């Protein structure tokens, strides 16, 4: 579904991505792991079209999307949930959800209903302002907003960041139930333990390069690989 080959990206003269390659097949949950600053967010922003200074191959369902604008990429079927959620604090929950459908003429009531089914907490708070939600609820809202455009590929940038363990479990349960409904997901995480639990395959990136790929199951069992590539701190969790 998605093929990224030898992706390089730059912030001015500084090269953030040196050589990133990976593939996502339909129906998979793929995770990209890597320490802070490795280039995970830059990779996602390159795919979603936010990052312009880039070279290499980005193909989605066989067509080259490397030069396309963010709204065109959403229209083609890729939605991104950005790091730090970035919901609209002065809009209500329901208004935030509707913003996710800005490309559509009409937003399906049913679609909003589906999102409330996935996240009942959002339904309870549909008239509350986005800014008044807890971190976990804002993450649910950011995911819900990305789903309104009915993506075929959903990209999540560190959904667990800054959330309490119980809330993280709720978010990851929703990722699993999205997968059961047939969604293809590209998940970016610093929390390797957690990401490997829900994903099929994993790629590890280090200093802007893909350095390792494996089945998530294999990687989960191989503690030595984890300690080399993902830092000892991950061994203490889970
Ligand atoms: N807006 C920016 N301007 C300049 N450099 C940046 C910017 N954003 C990220 N970088 C740099 O690009 C590299 C990759 O960052 P990023 O993709 O955010 O990593 P990650 O998401 O894995 O933590 C880092 O060296 C970071 O300092
Ligand atoms: Mg990041």
CA of 176 from ligand 2 middle (Å) equals 22
| Atom number of ligand 1 nearest to Cα 39 | 17
Of all helices (H) and strands (E), which one includes residue 144?
helix 135-148
Atom 7 (ligand 1): residue with closest C-alpha?
11
- Cα-to-centroid distance, 124 and ligand 2 (Å): 30
Q: Quick: pLDDT tens for 153-164.
A: 999 999 999 999
Predicted pLDDT of residue 108: 76
- 183 alpha carbon to ligand 1 midpoint, in Å? 28
| Ligand of minimum distance to the alpha carbon of 157 | 2
By C-alpha distance, which of 199, 118, 122, 193 is closest to 156? Answer: 199
Ligand number with the minimum distance to the CA of 51: 1
94 belongs to a structural domain: no
The tens digit of pLDDT for each residue in 166-181 reads 999 999 999 999 999 9
Does residue 132 form part of some domain?
A: no
The per-residue pLDDT for 100 is: 85
**Whole-number pLDDT of residue 190:** 83
Q: How far is the CA of 209 from the centre of ligand 2 (A)?
A: 15
Has residue 108 been placed in a domain? no
Q: How many domains does the chain have?
A: 1
Q: Report yes or no on 200 lying in a domain.
A: yes
Residue 70 CB partners (closer than 8 Å, separation 6+): 48, 49, 50
Residue nearest atom 10 in ligand 1 by C-alpha distance:
16
Q: Is 146 a member of any domain?
A: no
The answer to whether residues 172 and 180 touch, using CB atoms and an 8 Å cutoff, is no
Looking at all shown ligands, the one closest to residue 83's CA atom is 2
- The residue whose CA has the least distance to atom 26 of ligand 1 is 37
**Residue 96 lies inside a defined structural domain of this protein:** no
Say if 100 falls within a structural domain.
no
Between the CA of 40 and the centroid of ligand 1 the distance, in Å, is 8
The closest of 106, 96, 102 to 141, measured between CA atoms, is: 96
Distance 202 CA to ligand 2 centre (A): 17
Q: At what angle do helices 109-118 and 165-180 cross, to 10 degrees?
A: 130
The separation between the first and the last C-alpha atoms of the chain, rounded to the nearest angstrom, is 31
Q: Is residue 66 in some structural domain?
A: yes
The pLDDT value recorded for residue 227 is 66
CATH of the domain at 203: 3.40.50.300
Pocket test for ligand 1, best of 13, 31, 42, 53 (most atoms within 8 A of CB): 42
Q: What is the mean pLDDT of each run of 10 residues along the chain (238 residues)?
A: 98 97 97 94 97 97 96 95 90 93 74 93 96 94 94 96 91 93 94 91 95 92 69 46
Which residue range forms the structural domain that includes residue 203?
2-83+152-236
């Amino acid at each position: 579904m998605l093929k990224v080959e030898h992706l390089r990206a730059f912030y001015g003269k500084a090269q953030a991505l040196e050589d990133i390659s990976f593939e996502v097949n339909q129906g998979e949950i793929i995770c990209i792991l890597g320490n802070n600053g490795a280039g995970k967010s830059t990779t996602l922003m390159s795919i979603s079209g936010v990052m312009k200074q880039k070279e290499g191959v980005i193909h989605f369902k066989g067509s080259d999307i490397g030069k396309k604008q963010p709204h065109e990429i959403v229209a083609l079927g890729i939605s991104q949930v950005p790091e730090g959620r970035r919901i609209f604090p002065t809009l209500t929950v329901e208004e935030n959800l509707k913003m996710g459908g800005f490309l559509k003429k009409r937003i399906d009531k049913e679609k909003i209903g589906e999102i409330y089914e996935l996240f009942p907490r959002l339904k309870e708070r549909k008239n509350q302002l986005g800014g008044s939600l807890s971190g976990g609820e804002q993450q649910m809202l950011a995911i819900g907003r990305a789903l309104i455009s009915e993506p075929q590929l959903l990209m999540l940038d560190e959904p667990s960041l800054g959330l309490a363990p119980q809330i993280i479990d709720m978010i990851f349960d929703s990722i699993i139930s999205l997968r059961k409904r047939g969604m293809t997901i590209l998940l970016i995480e610093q929390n390797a333990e957690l990401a490997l639990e829900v994903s099929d395959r994993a790629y590890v990136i280090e200093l802007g390069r893909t350095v390792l790929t494996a089945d998530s199951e294999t990687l989960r069992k191989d503690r030595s690989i984890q300690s080399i590539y993902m830092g000892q701190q991950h061994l203490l969790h889970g």
